[in-house]
Structure 1
């Protein structure tokens, strides 16, 4: 039997979000209803509200979430009622050409719930990243649920559902940062700081944080940066080269996703170094550079989707490291808010005053 819960929706482009009643159907085959415990406020949610993803309004926002499995549909055996799970937006299919070639982190056919959550008048909702977790409960595919240590703080570990995993994975999985590497991270918001934390976790020798905001650079130092560069006061490329004996960093991560920051990343790396783009560009952005520079520098130019993670492999390990005190995930939670404070959290985000606001239900 379907049930009504409160959820945060974006009804039209640019309009303030609103809390309203939504209808959660019983889970069908392969589906799960999760009682949401906490959900981070990610910039992607704001991008949905602004129509920057698509125009399939109304959206049910929220996707960085953890909660308890409340009910399961037919054929679900990967999770059980009562399991504590972190939600993910990349439930791999196991059957596409990427999965069959042993590259499931590149899955081309990820799963979402088949049924639609709706407003009380029957209007279908588009869940953000196939999750929609600014709600007391949500309907997802079972593959979007990863069991983790039930004693972990949901407001903290839920952030693995998007931004933290994207940044950490950009360093560790995509960039392949190792213990003797020099690393530069351009853009020290939540994703960039997670990349810094990931580089510190694997023992990078030097970690250079680049941003234009002194507060963000201070946050970066707390999460493992060994050096900082204020790009408003000095040339970022020259500063990174100076800090790396004139060579450039082995891995440079662009967590902003603009043509100018990508160029900085390209020229701030060592010869045969690696550039990782994890910041998300907008469709109108263009890049113009001499082709010879790509040839003469060599190395690798990569993009990182969701940190090239495998949730069932990575989430439990990272939660365990957090529980052991070896991964300071709690530092990303700047404030805990109520479900009716999401619009205010978007304004706080614009001001650059938080790494993450987290809705606690």
Structure 2
């Protein structure tokens, strides 16, 4: 048993609390990880606000990198001393998706079996099965992906959630490549990552859409060729205009990534794509939201595909090492996503900064 400091949410809407937690030694299929860095993601705020479920208290934090300290007796894929990025989709290898060779769609992902607790024995619910706002955390061994140990933990840890979700939404789900046009609606961390992924894949134009000029500036730094302030112009018509300038006859973008998660912006994405184009929904809607009314003939007549992107449809064992290598080569600027490095006691203040639009990621350094 390990006694460490961790950040918990005790109840809905309550400020987070830095407190002592107990972390078990790893059992079968588990790994104990000494956390080096963990990004502050909007999903952690959703947990605190009760927007995910009500299994309080939560041990927050899930975009993390660290070093494996110990593993269960049966674990062979990672070993003590390995530098790893944590993921929240350890694949099972046995479900119908895994058996047909599509483990990125695994339907039975899993986490550690044992529970981390408060000193009084109260079981904690780790955010996305990770709980990395802590000096050490217990995860399923499959949640650990070994990467280049010389990489900066604060940067590569962000692949564990938002950055991978955005890059994967473009490259994996949207199949973005050279010769294709892309529009991204919503330029928070995930949207900007989708822009970076689209630029990395050679797409052009890459159009960033938002209502915040500061976010559009960031999108430009990350690879957007055009920006659209949708508070001032009709984003659908502007996307169509930009794409028609590049590709004669184009009626929109080949791929439109919706990174907001709202019916209004999803409808914009639907109509902003070219014939036979693809819409990718990676923004997370709330349970009460519904698909906007669209004539069924428009769904049929425009062709193409309407997709949802789960975690960027990533396979961590395949995608994390590749993206870390691109980062190390200077071809993917993961450092640009790290707005500030903070202490483990500064998570509540980082939540407040999210609302100002000035921060892509605050990263806790342990």
TM-score with structure 2 setting the length: 0.98
> Would you say how many aligned residue pairs link Structure 1 and Structure 2?
360
Query: What is the CA distance between 1:122 and its match in structure 2?
Result: 0.2
Aligned counterparts of 2:105 and 2:318: Cα–Cα separation in 1: 14
TM-score normalised to structure 1 length: 0.99
What SS does structure 2 have at the residue aligned with 1:56?
Answer: coil
Matches within 5 A, 1:200-279: 200-245=199-244, 247-279=251-283
Partners in 1 of 2:300 and 2:27 — Cα distance? Answer: 52
The one of 345, 349, 355 equivalent to 1:350 is 355
Q: How does 1:82-121 map to 2 (within 5 A)?
A: 82-121=81-120
- The equivalent residue for 2:247 is none
2:14 is the counterpart of 1:19:
no
Give how far 1:74 is off: 1.4
1:286 deviation in Å?
1.3
Measure how far apart 1:208 and its partner are: 0.2
- The one-character-per-residue Cα deviations of 1:101-153 (angstroms, maximum 9, x if unpaired) are 11111000012000000000000000000000000000000000000000000
**Which residue of 1 is the match for residue 188 of structure 2?**
189
| 1:289 and 2:294 aligned | yes
How far apart are 1:56 and its partner, in Å? 0.3
SS in 1 for 2:5: strand
Q: Structure 1 CA distance, aligned partners of 2:184 and 2:252?
A: 12
CA displacement, residues 126-184 of structure 1 (integer Å, 9 cap, x when unaligned): 00000000000000000000000000000000000000000000000000001000000
Distance, in Å, in 2 between the alignment partners of 1:53 and 1:289 is: 29
Secondary structure at 2:339 match in 1: strand
- Any idea what the Cα deviations from partners look like across 1:47-87, whole Å, max 9, x if unmatched? 00011111000000000000000111110000010000000
Residue 124 of structure 2 corresponds to 125
Residue 54 of structure 1: aligned partner: 53
Q: Secondary structure at the match of 1:173?
A: helix
Structure 2 gap ranges (5+): 245-249
> Could you tell me how far 1:35 is from its partner in structure 2?
0.3
CA–CA separation in structure 2 for the residues paired with 1:71 and 1:106: 28
How far residue 332 of structure 1 moved from its aligned partner, in angstroms, is: 0.2
Structure 1 distance, partners of 2:265, 2:73, is 48
C-alpha RMSD of the superposition: 0.6
Runs of 4+ in 1 over 6 A off after TM superposition: none
CA distance in 2, matches of 1:180, 1:313: 25
How far did residue 350 of structure 1 move?
1.4
Counterpart of 1:307? 312
